[in-house]
Amino acid sequence: MTDATLTQTGREPRSAGALIGRRLLRWGLYALLCLFALYYLLPLFVMLTTSLKSLEEIRTGSLVALPREVTFDAWGKAWSGACTGIQCEGLRPFFWNSVMMAVPGVLLSTLIGALNGYIFAQWRFRGANLFFAFLLFGCFIPFQVVLLPMARMLGIFGLAGTIPGLIFVHTIYGLGFTTLFFRNYYVTIPHELVRAAKIDGAGFFRIFWSIFLPLSLPIAVVTIIWQFTQIWNDFLFGVSFSSAGSQPITVALNNIVNSTTGVKEYNVDMAAAIIAGLPTLFVYIVAGKYFIRGLTAGSVKG
């Protein structure tokens, strides 16, 4: 390299050894990350391969080996008739119970949380900070603490052992988180928008529906993913507040895995576990990038 080139670049040329060292360091880092990813995904790989094997191959083969003959019998049994005794219907009815519980619960808690966040962020009132602090305190109350009071309340309302009762429980318990998400996002929206809308004659709900909700897509995606994951994966509320006909899929999965009647079918257990986890996995695959964007959308004000 000539002196003129050095003058134009303003720096000394890198030696071949330095470039090779940087490349080796980079590829070493990639290899380490790939190793961590493989270690993290190994249980999922074992679950998937085991669900595609017959019981005979599971007994005689290796745990991490690919199936010699792929069969989907375990999947069909997990979906339509994996259980015996009381839970003989498989996961299918309980899967739809979870859908009927999660979808309304997510929509209600998201909408009410957006309204609460809008009030706390843009409509200040006396005692707002104290009330918001008490609401956040509810986020950190362990599930076990509210079991008896919630059971009593569901009994009074006539919702004990029903899917609407589970929707009510998850909506109430999720309001602290959804309010926090929307409040932190709405404080970044200039208050001048509200002031201008008031001058134009817009009222409380008109400002919310016409200005704030259209701007809420990033944080709404975060809230929907968060709430759907929490509601779908919940076991404690499902086993405590449901009856035989309203149990969610997590309770049915527990009944399948812990069944002691007959021969233990590990391939059916693995297939049932994957079926129970597919909806949340699908949600993260489809909307995962929007989840990260939404988390950082309200992090900087101005």
Query: Residues 96, 67: one domain?
Result: no
Contact 255, 87 (CB under 8 A): yes
In the chain, how many domains are there?
2
For residue 188, the one-letter residue type is T
109 within a domain of the structure (yes/no): yes
Question: Three-state SS string across 75-111, please?
Answer: HHHHHHCCCCHHHCCCCHHHHHHHHHHHHHHHHHHHH
Query: Residues 160, 254: one domain?
Result: yes
- Determine the pLDDT at residue 85: 44
Query: Residues 161, 269: one domain?
Result: yes
Query: Residues 51, 160: one domain?
Result: no
For residue 91, the one-letter residue type is L
175 within a domain of the structure (yes/no): yes
- Determine the pLDDT at residue 83: 45
302 residues of the chain, pLDDT tens digit each: 455 444 444 455 567 778 888 888 889 899 999 999 999 999 999 999 999 998 888 888 888 888 888 889 889 989 987 444 444 468 999 999 999 999 999 999 999 999 999 998 888 788 888 888 888 888 888 888 888 989 999 999 999 989 999 999 999 989 999 999 999 898 888 888 888 888 888 888 888 898 888 888 889 988 999 999 999 999 999 999 988 888 999 999 998 888 766 678 888 999 999 999 999 988 888 877 777 776 666 555 54
Tell me the three state secondary structure of residue 245. coil
- Determine the pLDDT at residue 32: 93
Mean pLDDT of the chain: 84
Query: Residues 257, 179: one domain?
Result: yes
- Determine the pLDDT at residue 233: 93
83 within a domain of the structure (yes/no): no
Residues 6+ apart with CB under 8 A from 282: none
Domain hosting residue 50, numbered range: 14-71
Query: Residues 31, 118: one domain?
Result: no
124 within a domain of the structure (yes/no): yes
Query: Residues 31, 97: one domain?
Result: no
Whole-angstrom distance, CA of residue 35 vs CA of residue 159: 49
